[in-house]
Structures are given as structure tokens and as C-alpha cells.
Structure 1
């Protein structure tokens, strides 16, 4: 947009203003530009000193393409941040403090489909087609319902949300890339056996951990036929770091929505055998809900059933062709629900209710005595999803800042009492009890894209890290990395509970905590974040001291290379 005119600039011609605007584009819009692939490992320029113990690979995932051009020259615009075509990023921190980078697009078949059709086709998360007629909607619904959707193959879908290591039952690939074998001397340097990408559907994508090449797509139905009809699964699985068990919640649409709490674990016969898969519980509800994540403790799975409900039993997704338009408006009279499932007994043992809210992300959950505590980043309602349309986020002059989340803790009390009562009538769902709000951060200390020390996962903990919007910079999304001392918040001290990192005209991504080896303090470690530098229209990998929130080092991208705003990351240490 042209700069705002003042009296001294009133005489400048419109062409001069446009020239000035092109010289200094809005620094925060670069995060929504197309990001070219960097297929070969490329060294980055390191400033500062990377700790000697910090070696491994940071994976980042998210959208990388929003605008396509067809052979005929027609422009195809992907409307929403969540629908951008997937790109994966790999930052390798090597011995001696050297860093290299590469990236790859992993939905090229979908890209080609859009280009060939000269439009965004198929069911998306938020893409709206104003030219669809009622007849076309009906025909698409009828065709999909009677004949089934197009087969998923190759890279014909977006699986962009979060990378997950060591999915049970995926064998170590004997045809690992020559580059990996050469880099490791034929031996594996990390505990990474395989790498799988997750999204908000019953589909996963196996990825080569080094080259980032897509290997195959598969579903939970490929593991167990009874799950073939399931429609959705939270993009964030829960993984027990001690047992290696993977948990998810599969939703099947219908007049009564069915949520299946599923545990997948390696076969006792070894990694060359199909995994063991158990359905721990089936929960029936009149509300089919979009859930991006859920929670787990050492003893329980907690299905966080907030409000973001599909209309018409989920068939509305086929009618509109996207999830966003198919969501019902929030109903203040419908409670949000927590379903508690016993991991060992495989039984729905308790249900809790609270006032309606919406969330993308749970932060952590843990057992303490006979209670469960669940921390999450809560929104007033799911209309926040509509704030992330690309045209809004690119709009310097009148773009709307998305609704902000607050960190909130819920207490689900006296679980054994509820479990005993539910055991008396095993065929009847447990009677709901009230969930207690223990505390929440003030709205001015907004909090999203959470991270904690992985050693504290499923345990009581003190520190949570995330991103925050300060309101200082003219950006529509977050511009700070935040550290929250939950012990201080629990005592009522919100003022000194948060520390921040911020740099002018920079947009950080979700921070990933990497603990110092043999650390005795929970916050002894570093935070890794990929930062868009709007001033130079490039980016860098930021390394922060997690205790002080001060910069230790950064690895700068080559000039002209930008890692766009992405969703989530994961660090695999050597």
C-alpha cells in the first residue's frame, strides 16, 4: 500500500508514491509469499556462538505456496493460510556450530491438479468458491457420497501440520538415501527411524528424513480396516515418550458422531511387523466437532471436545466444499466437554463440562493425586479461523488482527470417584461433572503455538513457551516469543510471570525447546524459532537462552530466501 500522505508529501505524484511503496513493501507480508524450494543442503551464515552440545535437526512444516499460474497464464489464488500448499524445512545443526538448510514441496500432485483445473478443487479447509451453483454443490455431494472421493495417492493432498518421529510399524527403510548413508557412515546418528507428517484428517504422509521427499500416504484404515470410514483425526497426536505409544482420536461423521480413542504401538514381534492398534473407547455425541489437538496424562486420554461443530452431521463439508463454511455458529447454551478415557482399562470413565470455548492447541496435561490438570490456549470462539484468510493477512491498511488466545488451566477433579460410578453402569455414558478453571492469563498476555521442555510432558511443570502479539509492531499476527512462569500465575502474580523476546519488524514462529544435556533446572536449555525478518525480506533460525530469553546465536538464510510463516516444528538431537 502507498505510504500515508502528509502535508509535505501532498505534491508528490501518484507514480512517485507507488515507486516508494514498491521500494519498501510492507515487511510483514513476505510471510505469505510463495517460497521457492531449496533442494540441496545449503550452508547458513552463523552469527554468535551455538552451544557445543547442540547438534541435530530442526524440522518445520506449513504452507509454502499461495499463488499459482496455469499454462494459459491464469492466476489461481489459494485463499486461506491453512490451505497453502505444503512445504517442509530442515535445519541441520552440525558439530562445530555449522548450520545447513533445505526445503521441499510435498504436495506437487495437488499443485498440478489445481493448475490443470485452473482452480482450487476438492474439499479444502477454508477455500470458498462464490461461483458454485446449488446444482454443482448437490452434484458434488451426490457423486462423493455414492461413488467415493478421488483416491489419495502420491502427493495429492496437503499434509502440512506437524512432523512426528518413529510412527509404530513403519520399518526402517533399507533404501535410505545415499546422502544419509554417506553422512552417517552407514550408521544412524539419531534415534529417528522414520518421519511422518500429520494433518486434520485420516491421512498421514511418510517423509524421507534427509531429502524430505514424500515416500507414501497412508491412513489408519490401512492399519485396521475398521477405521477406514473415519473422517478426521487431530493433527497433533499424543506420544508417550517412555513407551513410544501413539494416541489419536478418530471422528466418524453421522447422525451420531463417533469418536474412537486409538492407541498404536510397535508389535512385540519387532519393527518388521504391523503395529498393534487398539480402540480404547468409543464416545458417541450429537456434536461432530473439529478438534486440532487433545490431551493426555500418564493414566488418561482427555478428549477436549470444545465447540467447533459441523452442521448436518458433517455432510455440510461436502455441500460447501470446505470446513469453514460448514461450521455452526457458537451456541452459548452448549457446554464444552472433556471426556476422560483410562489408558490401561480402555474405558470412558468420566465426563466434565465447562462454559463454551474454542482452541487449536493443548499445552500439557498431568495427573496430580486424583485430579487431572489440562492447560490449553483458549479462544472465545472458533471465528478466529476466519481471521486467517490471506487477503486479510496481506492487507497493511485495513487488515484485521486475528482473535488472540489466552493460556488457561482446567482441573478435572476426583477421577477415581467418577470412574467407580461409571463402572456401575458401563453401558451408560458417565454423568457430566463441572470442570474448574484454575487460572488463566490476562488477555493482554496472549499466548499461542505452545512448547514446553519435553522432559516435563505428561508431568507437572513450571514453564510454557509460545508466541505473543505485543500490539507494538504493525503486524496482524504475533511478533514476540513468550515465556510464562506458571507457578507465578498460579499464585496470582501475572505481572512478572512473562518474559519476552522481540525484534523490530520480525515475526517469530513457534519456539521449540531443546534441553541442555544433564540439566537440573526445567528451563535450562535453548529455544529454536524460525524468524521472518521483514526489514531485509529474509529470515533466520534464532537460538535463545530459554532461561533469560536472550539471543545466543542466529543462522541467517541466504539473501532472497525466506522461510514463510509455518505451523510447527520438532527437533531431533544427535
Structure 2
């Protein structure tokens, strides 16, 4: 009897593991590496399904009842698993106590301003686990106006809430990027809320801790409102120390966004790609609270942004770009499960955009007291398209600053998989100098699918790439998984923590590491 295709196990449902399970460690884990890697020495594993009420409603109705990202059949696309539902908590009927009526699982974020359910003190659990006293709370976000609070140790869902619960003016927001922007130095949290209509409205929002203390209602400011004829699916955006940068690529909803309600899902609601429609970058002054400049470039699509930073009077934005949004359709599970006839998904290319002479454009905007006149964005460089790149990660200490190294996942073409099979390290300085060949290093293991590599710097490190990478890897050949620890400088394995036999780590995208020593 032929053995099953090793990669198909990544699309199976993942059973809950509510109690911590010790993992078998091979190699030596650095003594300083102590904390929690949120995904969905001593290493343990636990997982929770944070949408049990929603799953039960699906089972009872034998259909998907809320508005979803892709087709109504919940088994049709990998994005049903990762990008989930668009409706707000009230529309989902979520319980304020358990909050399991929504599937909000894309990104985990620590210490959301104003949440008080986990006070700033150590909490002990029946199994001996305890919270990090500097981890006040944990939330997850998706591509809708809905957030979910989880217990940071047990992952038990606590409640669903919306940005409208923080401020009534945000109740009309239909979508928000799954990836917020957080300034780790100031603790400020930013998002962009999209309201559908004949004129789409993007509200750039800042949430920060109240001056009265962490357990008080947070301070919330709408920094800018941007009107556009294009309501667009934005999975992420960018930020520098001076500006919020809304990258308005092309993935537009038809019928002013009402198509989502008509079709009941986003994928069927998108307009066809139009190469003649320019993509834009909107710059919002973080401190003055105003839309001060707009830049335009040729059409493209993206999910994620690597990093952005101020470079003199310019802003630099690094993005893994696709030619268009049809890549979303490439990720239907029926396609990815097709061992012999599956279509390889479109791959992303790393590209650097430069928004130049900002002071000049800001001055013109302030003088006219009207919407900024678009200026051309420049492309500084692009990585060889044959070296595809997604799920970017950098040293968190370089976030919002100039940097040299980025890490992600890559499809080699060497293995019979339609998803990623390598972890990649890119030396951006070498790419800029034209040395594409030696600019990249890889980790690969046969029949394995890595998730986003999360960079953790070595304490006291002076080199940017002095640290480790953590990735949850699906081992398709053994139908299990492991947490991989790589030396981020050499891309060589330091250690791994194997899951018990029979425990599957399905394909997963993002992760967040919270050290025990500080947050």
C-alpha cells in the first residue's frame, strides 16, 4: 500500500491540547531562551480551539453562516483557516464571557492598552503554570473589526470585542488589517479601519495607555480619515517613527464593498485585477495627526510588510509583492492537496520602495489645505524573483529602524509540495550592492514545511543577526511536528523539540515570542 503524500497532513484539523505536553528536546537550547512562542531547557506544547461555539454553529447548520474570507464551504480554502471571518463581535453573537463565537486567530499581540482582565501580577494555574508578570493581556486579531482576548497561559478565550467598543465612532468600520502596528518603545497601537460605501473611508487609529494608568480606559485618537473610490482588502500596513504608512495596493471589493454581503465571502467579491490602476502609499503624521503626503506606483498586491523606516527626508518600505491578488485563489485546499495536478501558488518577491523628499510634499499639502497631490514612489531594488520570499521577520530591535537582515519562508521547488519548504535569510546590504547570489542562506529538511521564523535576539548582542530563529515545522514524513531553533547567523540547527507521536502541527503562518524576563 502506498504511503500517503506527506504534505497532506498539514491540512487536517488540529485537536486541542489544553494541558501542557512536554516535548523531547534534541540539541542544546540556549539558557537565556525562556518565554512563550504563541502560535496558534524544557519545552511544552498546548493548543486551544478559540472558536468552539462558531464550530458548533457550523456543524448544526451544516453551512458557514457569517461572512467569511473565501467560499462558504469551510473546507474549501486554507484562508478559511487563517484569515477567518470579517464580521464584528456583535454580529457574530459572541459571548462576552467565553468569546468563542468568532474565529480570530491570525495575529497575537501582547499588552493591548486598556484591557484589565489579567492584572499586572503573577497568576498561578492548577497545572503549576504561571503568567509573566509583565504580560498584562493577550489578544488575537483577524481581518475584521473584531478582536479576541485570550488567557496568555491556557489560551482560554475570554471575550470578543470590537474597536467600536472602544469608541462609538469606530462602530461603522467593516474591516481592519489583521496585522496592527505596535511601537515597542512607546507602547502605541495602530490600526486602519475601512468603512464600505460609494466613497470608501479609511480611519487611521492610535490606541495608547491612559495617562491615568494601565487599568483605565485607553486613549484613542483618529489620526486621519482618507477617502478613496477603492475599498480594498488590506492585510497589513507599515509605520516609521514619524509616519503611519498605509500601503493601498490593489485587491478591491466590487459594488463599494456591498458585494461581500451579497456573496457572503470576500474572495468572490473582489474585482478583477486592473494593471492601469495605480497603487498608493498614504503618509499620516503620527504626531500632528494628519494625512500629509501620497505616493503612487504601478499596481501590485501584498499580504505583509517587512519593515519601514525614516531615511533622512525619505521613507523606505520593504514589501514582499505579488503581481496581483489571484494568489489568494491559489491557496484553495483542493489545489494544495492535489499531489499530481495542483497548481503552484504565485510567489512573492522582496521589493524596496522609496518615498522621497517628504518635507517638500508636506509643505505643499499644508499650504493648499487639501488632499495631498500624488508623487511617484521609486523602486530602490528588487530581489531576484526566482528567490521567492514570504512571512517576513526581523530582529524586533530594528523595527522602525534601518536594518540589514530579514528572515522568512521560501519554496525551493526541490520537494513535491505546493507550500514553503525552506527558511530563508536575506542580507539586504548585499542585495543593494547587486550581490544577489551570496545574499541568501537557507535551512531545509525533506518533507518539512516551516512556519514564519520568529527572531529572538541574544541578550546583550551587538550584531543585528546575533540570535535564534524559532519556527513550528510540520514533519510530513513522520506526520508530526517540532519546534525548530536555528542559529540566525549561520542558519544551522541548534536544537529542536519534537512533538509526541501522533500529534500533528498543521500548516500555520505567524508567531509571536514573549520572553519571561521582559515584554
Structure 2 residues without counterparts, runs of 5 or longer: 75-86
- Are 2:492 and 1:550 equivalent residues in the alignment? yes
C-alpha separation in 1, matches of 2:355 and 2:444: 36
What is the deviation of 1:479? Answer: 0.2
State the match for 2:262 in structure 1: 319
What is the deviation of 1:178? Answer: 3.8
Q: Is the 8 A contact 1:165 1:193 kept in 2?
A: yes
- In the TM superposition, what are the counterparts of 1:529-540 in structure 2 within 5 Å? 529-540=471-482
- Are 2:125 and 1:179 equivalent residues in the alignment? yes
SS in 2 for 1:98: coil
Structure 1 runs (4+) deviating above 3 angstroms are 148-153, 174-178, 180-184
SS in 2 for 1:28: helix
State the match for 2:48 in structure 1: 104
C-alpha separation in 1, matches of 2:208 and 2:91: 30
State the match for 1:41 in structure 2: 20
Q: Is the 8 A contact 1:190 1:572 kept in 2?
A: no
Q: Is the 8 A contact 2:122 2:132 kept in 1?
A: no
What is the deviation of 1:325? Answer: 0.4
CA-atom RMSD in angstroms: 1.6
C-alpha separation in 1, matches of 2:502 and 2:128: 30
SS in 2 for 1:416: helix
C-alpha separation in 1, matches of 2:128 and 2:221: 39
What is the deviation of 1:182? Answer: 4.7
State the match for 2:279 in structure 1: 336
Residues 1:106 and 1:183: Cα distance change in structure 2 (over 3 Å): closer
What is the deviation of 1:566? Answer: 0.9
How many residue pairs get aligned? The number is 498
User: What TM-score do you get using the length of structure 2 for normalisation?
Assistant: 0.94
User: What TM-score do you get using the length of structure 1 for normalisation?
Assistant: 0.85
- In the TM superposition, what are the counterparts of 1:127-142 in structure 2 within 5 Å? 127-128=71-72
Offset from partner CA, 1:206-231 (integer Å, 9 cap, x none): 00000000000000100000000100
State the match for 2:219 in structure 1: 276
State the match for 2:501 in structure 1: 559
Deviating more after overlay: 152-161 vs 251-260: 152-161
Q: Is the 8 A contact 2:69 2:266 kept in 1?
A: yes
Offset from partner CA, 1:75-105 (integer Å, 9 cap, x none): xxxxxxxxxxxxxxxxxxxxxx110111110
State the match for 1:422 in structure 2: 365
- Are 2:437 and 1:495 equivalent residues in the alignment? yes
Structure 1 residues without counterparts, runs of 5 or longer: 1-19, 62-96, 131-143
- In the TM superposition, what are the counterparts of 1:118-267 in structure 2 within 5 Å? 118-128=62-72, 149=91, 151-153=93-95, 154-174=99-119, 178-179=124-125, 182-184=128-130, 189=132, 191-267=134-210
Q: Is the 8 A contact 1:349 1:423 kept in 2?
A: yes
State the match for 2:394 in structure 1: 452
- In the TM superposition, what are the counterparts of 1:446-485 in structure 2 within 5 Å? 446-485=388-427
Aligned partner (choices 379, 384, 408) of residue 351 of structure 2: 408
In our comparison, the structure showing a higher alpha carbon Rg is 1
Q: Is the 8 A contact 2:11 2:507 kept in 1?
A: yes
C-alpha separation in 2, matches of 1:149 and 1:247: 23
Aligned partner (choices 31, 37, 42) of residue 58 of structure 1: 37
C-alpha separation in 2, matches of 1:60 and 1:444: 29
State the match for 2:6 in structure 1: 27
State the match for 1:139 in structure 2: none
Residues 1:252 and 1:32: Cα distance change in structure 2 (over 3 Å): same
Deviating more after overlay: 153-162 vs 206-215: 153-162
C-alpha separation in 1, matches of 2:137 and 2:285: 29
Offset from partner CA, 1:303-337 (integer Å, 9 cap, x none): 00000000000000011110000000111110000
SS in 2 for 1:408: strand
